Structure 1
Amino acid sequence: MPTLSREQPEPPERPEPAQPHRARRTAESFGVDAHRYDQARPGYPADLVARVVAGSPGPDVLDVGCGTGIAARQFQAAGCAVLGVEPDPRMAGLARARGLRVEEASFEAWEPAGRTFAAVIAAQSWHWVDPVAGAAKAAQVLRPNGRLAVFGHVFEPPAEVAEPFAAAYRRAAPDSPFSAQPARRPVELYEAGYAEIADRLRGTGRFDEPEQWRFDWERPYTRGQWLDLLPTTGGLTRLSPGRQAGILDAVGRAIDALGGRFTMRYTTLATTAVLK
């Protein structure tokens, strides 16, 4: 059950892989439980944040689809002044409560009012942005030599966890687009999605040759920690509590069979490019 909040191209949060930015109801469903999202979702590799900061011509950062500010707080801790753009008022409200400046709008509709930035980042959010309009808007708001960095996680639970999840999901939501997805998908599929982002950036004629970054890491999860995170993924955010409960019960039993915990292998992928 790889998940790039897929949160970037990402299965469980991409009901329409060809045009995920048109799946607005799913895109706007993550704020259903913004506090759970903020607490359960993982942050980003420190090396990624450091590379973006070091490769940008200043400390001012625009965070596209900032959500509750998970990535933004990491960039703030690295010395950046961050402005978030977020269409969901529930997510934006929590981000403000955590100290982030946020303007409520989709990136396509957001009005920069002449402002420019040293870096534009999109953490687990770029797949909800129109790929053509998003690339053009990023070029518009970046200063010369400014950096665009689009990044997100691929989740790869062990098969002993992913397969019971997939089976339970098919039973609970047989008509969902997510039900047709395999339990696990190779990271190469997600790398191909980031390669498509690079192609879009090349197509603007405004960026230097894009780079592809990859960070592999691991994180242990207890049963409770993983069951807190699962409801924040796009495949579950729109399900009723009853349907969610059946899926979480099946996954919980699978984790119990592993001794109540497992180790998640994460891959964080990034496409980044510098404005000419």
Structure 2
Amino acid sequence: MPTLPSGQEPHRYRQAAESFGTDVERYDRTRPAYPPELIGHLIATAPGREVLDVGAGTGIEARQFQAAGCRLLGVEPDSRMAEFARRSGVDVEVAKFEEWDPAGRRFDLLVSGQAWHWVDPVAGAAKAAEVLRPGGLLAAFWHVPEPPEEVANALADAYRRLVPDSPIDLDSVPKQPSDPYGPLIVKVADGLRDAGGFGEPERSRHDWDRVYTRDEWLDQLPTFGSLTWVESTVRQEILAEVGAVIDGLGGRFTVRYATVAITAVRD
């Protein structure tokens, strides 16, 4: 279920990048948390528990790290999402990461859940090297949901017909289990190498499943970057077509998730 624009660098596509705060309550309610084993591995690998969360959003992964005993600061460009995160107990500063002033602060672990593709891959990596302590860990990770083919095709078909001029390609991300977000992760790795200051990037993947009802899936779909900026009446038409297909499947189905990550250690 890609949310990235095709044919250009995602961090330059601001219409989608700045659209996620239109319904922060829905975003926080419907977007899944990250596998506990991933969170635990990152904490165990980092040299300490001072965490910087880039693109903190509503605080989904931030609250997971806080619950595990980390001291966390978020950086989020959308003031609406930042305010929601603050209300949930996350300390957040509003800024684009590339322009953010760390004011001399240093961190053991920099994380970015579902957000690093909105950061310039080279400038962002250079800023990360600036704010991480030696031996600190950068970790960017993404969910890749794969619903049943009928559900995915219903969304793609309705989207192509009703949003014909969209720069977002619903077939741009390889399907599981080949290499989810493979081209994107290659760009991130190249950015880390070009910026310098990091060891060789490494990839990891965590697979898991979740059962969704029709209402739960249709509640989450409007938070995807392919739909957040689409006019409301068009979005409702798309959801209605997807909902009809889910009804034909009995009203519930299983989504296969891959949570893919790229990590690199600060030299």
Q: TM-score, normalized by length of structure 1?
A: 0.93
What is the count of residue pairs matched by the alignment? Answer: 265
Candidates 147, 158, 161, aligned match of 2:151:
161
Please list the CA deviations of residues 204-227 of structure 1 after superposition, one character each: whole Å capped at 9, or x if unmatched: 331122211101111100001000
User: Is 1:139 aligned to residue 161 of structure 2?
Assistant: no
Q: What residue number does 2:257 align with?
A: 266
Task: Provide the C-alpha distance between the structure 1 equivalents of 2:106 and 2:56, rounded to a whole number of angstroms.
Answer: 17
Q: Say what the alpha-carbon RMSD is for the aligned residues.
A: 1.4
Identity %: 56
Q: Secondary structure at the match of 2:42?
A: helix
Offset, 1:17: 4.7
Give matches, 1:72-221, under 5 Å.
72-178=62-168, 180-182=169-171, 185-187=174-176, 188=179, 190-221=181-212
Q: Secondary structure at the match of 1:177?
A: coil
Q: What residue number does 1:59 align with?
A: 49
Q: What residue number does 1:44 align with?
A: 34
Task: Provide the C-alpha distance between the structure 2 equivalents of 1:79 and 1:31, rounded to a whole number of angstroms.
Answer: 28
Q: TM-score, normalized by length of structure 2?
A: 0.96
Task: Provide the C-alpha distance between the structure 2 equivalents of 1:110 and 1:36, rounded to a whole number of angstroms.
Answer: 27
Paired letter, 1:252: G
- Counterpart contact for 1:31–1:90, Cα < 8 Å: yes
Please list the CA deviations of residues 191-214 of structure 1 after superposition, one character each: whole Å capped at 9, or x if unmatched: 232133122212233112221110
Please list the CA deviations of residues 223-274 of structure 1 after superposition, one character each: whole Å capped at 9, or x if unmatched: 0100000000001101111001101101111111110000000011100011
- Counterpart contact for 1:31–1:91, Cα < 8 Å: yes
Give matches, 1:222-241, under 5 Å.
222-241=213-232
Offset, 1:189: 5.3
Structure 1: 4+ residue segments shifted above 6 A = none
Offset, 1:18: 3.3
Q: What residue number does 1:257 align with?
A: 248
Task: Provide the C-alpha distance between the structure 2 equivalents of 1:219 and 1:242, rounded to a whole number of angstroms.
Answer: 29
Gaps spanning 5+ residues in structure 2: where? none
- Counterpart contact for 2:203–2:262, Cα < 8 Å: yes
Gaps spanning 5+ residues in structure 1: where? 3-10
